[in-house]
Structures are given as C-alpha cells and as structure tokens.
C-alpha cells in the first residue's frame, strides 16, 4: 500500500490518501465492500465538520487518553476500515497506553481476521487478538458478538472506532467504559459512548496517542481531573452545532 504518489501539496491529498488506503485494504481482503460505502458516508460528514479536529473533539481525545491510562485492561477494537486507515497509528496508541489490540468484525471470516492481524503486525504490532473468539458479547446475535475472553470480553475500557451502535449498547450493558470514534454526533454509538470523539479516525487515533504521551507520567488524581472536566453531551452538541452552522471554507475542494 506504499505506491500512493499524489504530492502532499495537492489540496485533496489527505482525502485521496484515505480513499487509496481503503481501496487497497479492500483489494487485500481487509476492508469489506460495505466498508467502502461507510467510508464515503464518513467523508461526507467530515466535509461538514470542515475536515478539522474541533476543540471539543480534542478535549474528548484527551479524556480518552486519560481513560486508557487509568484502565486495568484497555483494548483497542479494530475493524477493516480502521486497520486500512490507521494501522501504524493504532499500534502506536496501543504501545503508549498499554492496550491490547483485537480484531472484531461484522462481516467476519477467519481469513479476514488473519489478514487484518497480519497487516497490523506488519505495522509493528507484537500481538493481535481476535482469532480465538472464545467468548461472546451478551445480547448480540451477529458476528461482532465473537470476542476473545482475555480481550474485549475482559476489558474495562474499549476503544470502538467508527459507527457500531448495537455493539456499543451491548458493551455498555456489560459495564465497560467506551471510547467511540465517530464522525456522526447523532449516531447511537456516539450518544452511548462514555467519551464520544467526533472526528475522523485518521486524526483522532494519533491525537489520542499524543495526549497519552503528554499524560502518561501524570498521577491518577490528575487523570481523574481530566475526566471530571469532560462533558460528553457538550462535546456532541458542539459537533452538531459545527455541522449545522460551521465555516466550511475549503472543505471538499
């Protein structure tokens, strides 16, 4: 996936790079066909956000970092689009927070799980969970219910990239703290999250990692102070307001 040769000076460089990564992910068996549709939907919402990280999303990323650092068993859940878009960034976030990485798919096959795990290992992951699938999330009847007993099932904090409403609800009912990365502030996933990060995953994952690096020497009281200062509903409201009334100059050029 290294053949992308559009110059960074191109006004749509990041958008074209994102599309390229998802396309190549599909060719490699990482991203599902439905994932291509989901990527287009997300990109249209990102246009409306001005293709930028809002201050409220940055605050959410900081709270997400604090949760991951305070967690006993944090897990980064990875689907096909996340693997294609932010493989190295996901591995970096796991390293700085001590989180496990687990592949969890709606359109699941063992071949896809293995392909995603191998791709993440190519980007530096030492261990990727998801193939064991020796536990189930209660209340789900589809393939996303399949999780590792020592991974998502046992986690206290789970990062859920991209819209995934029913699983977000089921994980919440298990008592897990959920960090959801979702460009749609009206989605069920974002509204159920402990920390909704309303941002593009290509910006959100490295931003959470940057905050984690800044905070990783902080004591527990400082980290809890970050959490106490975060208002999930205010973050959702700010994102919705930006979509409805924001300055869209430059978006979608």
pLDDT bin (cut points 50, 70, 90) of residue 37 is low
For residue 29, is it within any domain?
no
pLDDT bin (cut points 50, 70, 90) of residue 72 is very high
The parent domain of residue 119 ranges over: 55-228
For residue 222, is it within any domain?
yes
For residue 223, is it within any domain?
yes
Residue with tokens 């939907």: 41
| Domain total in the chain | 1
pLDDT digits (tens, 9 = 90+) for 83-103: 989 999 999 999 999 999 999
Q: Give the residue-averaged pLDDT of 13-20.
A: 72
Q: Give the residue-averaged pLDDT of 180-199.
A: 94
* pLDDT of amino acid 205: 98
CA torsion 22-24-26-27 (nearest 10°) is 170
Q: What is the 3-state secondary structure (H, E, C) of 184-240?
A: CCCCHHHHHCCEEECCCHHHHHHHHHHHHHHHCCCCHHHHHHHHHCCCHHHHHHHHH
5 pLDDT higher than 80 = no
For residue 166, is it within any domain?
yes
* pLDDT of amino acid 251: 43
For residue 233, is it within any domain?
no
For residue 36, is it within any domain?
no
To the nearest whole percent, how much of the chain has pLDDT over 70?
87
Higher pLDDT, 105 or 27: 105
Q: What is the CATH number of the domain that holds 92?
A: 3.40.50.12640
For residue 21, is it within any domain?
no
């Amino acid at each position: 996936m290294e053949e992308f040769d559009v110059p960074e000076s191109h006004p749509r460089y990041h958008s074209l790079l994102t599309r390229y990564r998802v396309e190549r992910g599909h060719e490699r068996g990482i991203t599902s066909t439905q994932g291509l549709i989901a990527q287009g939907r997300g990109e249209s919402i990102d246009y409306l956000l001005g293709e930028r990280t809002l201050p409220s999303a940055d605050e959410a990323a900081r709270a997400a970092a604090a949760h991951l650092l305070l967690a006993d068993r944090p897990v980064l859940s990875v689907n096909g689009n996340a693997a294609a878009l932010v493989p190295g960034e996901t591995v970096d976030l796991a390293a700085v927070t001590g989180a496990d990485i687990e592949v969890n798919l709606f359109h699941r096959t063992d071949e896809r799980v293995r392909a995603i795990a191998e791709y993440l290992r190519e980007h530096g992951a030492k261990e990727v969970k998801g193939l064991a699938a020796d536990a189930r999330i209660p209340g789900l009847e589809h393939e996303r219910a399949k999780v590792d007993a020592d991974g998502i099932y046992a986690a206290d904090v789970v990062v859920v990239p991209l819209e995934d409403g029913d699983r977000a609800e089921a994980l919440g009912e298990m008592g897990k703290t959920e960090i959801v990365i979702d460009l749609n502030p009206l989605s069920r996933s974002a509204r159920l999250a402990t920390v909704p990060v309303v941002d593009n995953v290509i910006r959100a994952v490295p931003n959470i990692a940057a905050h984690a690096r800044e905070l990783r020497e902080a004591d527990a009281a400082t980290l809890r102070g970050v959490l106490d200062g975060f208002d999930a509903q205010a973050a959702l409201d700010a994102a919705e307001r930006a979509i409805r009334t924001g300055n869209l100059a430059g978006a979608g050029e």
